Each structure stands twice: as structure tokens, then as C-alpha cells.
């Protein structure tokens, strides 16, 4: 499990120390994995951080249907958005958000999806 976490850290460009700090773990927690029974709450936090299943961390097996994002690059961008407070706010619908603001976000998302599919309409949106 420690090697999978190490590999994920490398893939996401984060050190194990930074991961421990970000998740509120004691320094060296990940390095000690394998020497004792892991804390399931902490393992779940690590899995959520990297957008993988606990099963993947434990066994190395995960089917694409278990992953939220099928593309690793997309998952990494989503994680970067999640970690950036200003960007996260763009995707975080607030209770007091004005309907026009929510509609604007919805339209931007639809325009990006159309662009991805190659469905460009007359207005260039």
C-alpha cells in the first residue's frame, strides 16, 4: 500500500510529507504503513484525496467503473480545482447564489461540453 501511495504522490506531484500535512496526519504516518494495521479513516482520506478506491490502495486493483474520473489527467485537474479556494468557489453552488449566476455557470459548462463534442452553434458558443 505504501508503494501505491508513493506512486500516486509522484503522479500528482506532491511529496508524502505534504500529503500527510494536507490531510492532517502525523509526520511519517505513510512511511510506517505496513508495520501496523492502518487506520481505515486515514486510508479513506488518502483514497478520496487521490480519487481512488480504498480497495485500490489496499490491493492495487480498481476497475474504471469504480473511479469517478476515468481520465487521470481530468482527475488531477479536478483535484487542483478542489484545492484552490477561488476555483472551488466557481463549482460550489451556494445556497444564496443568484439564479442568473448559476445559469451562467451552467451555460459555461454546456458550452465546454459542446466544444468537446465538436458541436459549435452559430453564435460560436
Is residue 123 in some structural domain?
no
Query: What is the tally of structural domains in the chain?
Result: 2
All residue ranges of the chain with pLDDT < 70 are 34-37, 62-70, 84-98, 102, 119-125
Q: What's residue 93's pLDDT?
A: 59
User: In this predicted model, what pLDDT tens digit does every residue of 57-85 receive, in sequence order?
Assistant: 888 776 555 566 667 777 777 777 777 66
Helix (H, G, I), strand (E, B) or coil at 47: helix
| Among 1, 8, 58, CA closest to 33 | 1
Residue 121 has a pLDDT of 56
User: pTM for the full model?
Assistant: 0.49
Domain extent at residue 34: 2-66
Same domain, yes or no: 62 and 84:
no
**48 and 22 belong to one structural domain:** yes
Q: Determine the Cα–Cα distance for residues 74 and 114; give it in Å rounded to an integer.
A: 17
Q: Note whether 81 and 88 are within 8 A (CB).
A: yes
Is there a single domain that holds both residue 61 and residue 9? yes
Same domain, 46 and 16: yes
Task: Clarify whether residues 12 and 43 are in a common domain.
Answer: yes
CATH of the domain at 49: 1.10.260.40
Does 50 share its domain with 78?
no
pLDDT at res. 94: 59
Does one domain contain both 52 and 98? no
56/79 same-domain check: no
124: left (phi over 0), alpha (psi -120 to 50) or beta: left
Amino acid at each position: 500500500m505504501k508503494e501505491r501511495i508513493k506512486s500516486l504522490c509522484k503522479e500528482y506531484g506532491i511529496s508524502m510529507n505534504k500529503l500527510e500535512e494536507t490531510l492532517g496526519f502525523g509526520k511519517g504516518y505513510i512511511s510506517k504503513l505496513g508495520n501496523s494495521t492502518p487506520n481505515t479513516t486515514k486510508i479513506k482520506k488518502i483514497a478520496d484525496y487521490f480519487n481512488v478506491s480504498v480497495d485500490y490502495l489496499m490491493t492495487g486493483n480498481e476497475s474504471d467503473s469504480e473511479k469517478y474520473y476515468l481520465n487521470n489527467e481530468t482527475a488531477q485537474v479536478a483535484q487542483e480545482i478542489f484545492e484552490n479556494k477561488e476555483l472551488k468557489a466557481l463549482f460550489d453552488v451556494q445556497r444564496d447564489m443568484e439564479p442568473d449566476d448559476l445559469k451562467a455557470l451552467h451555460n459555461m459548462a454546456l458550452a465546454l461540453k459542446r466544444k468537446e463534442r465538436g458541436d459549435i452553434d452559430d453564435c460560436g458558443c
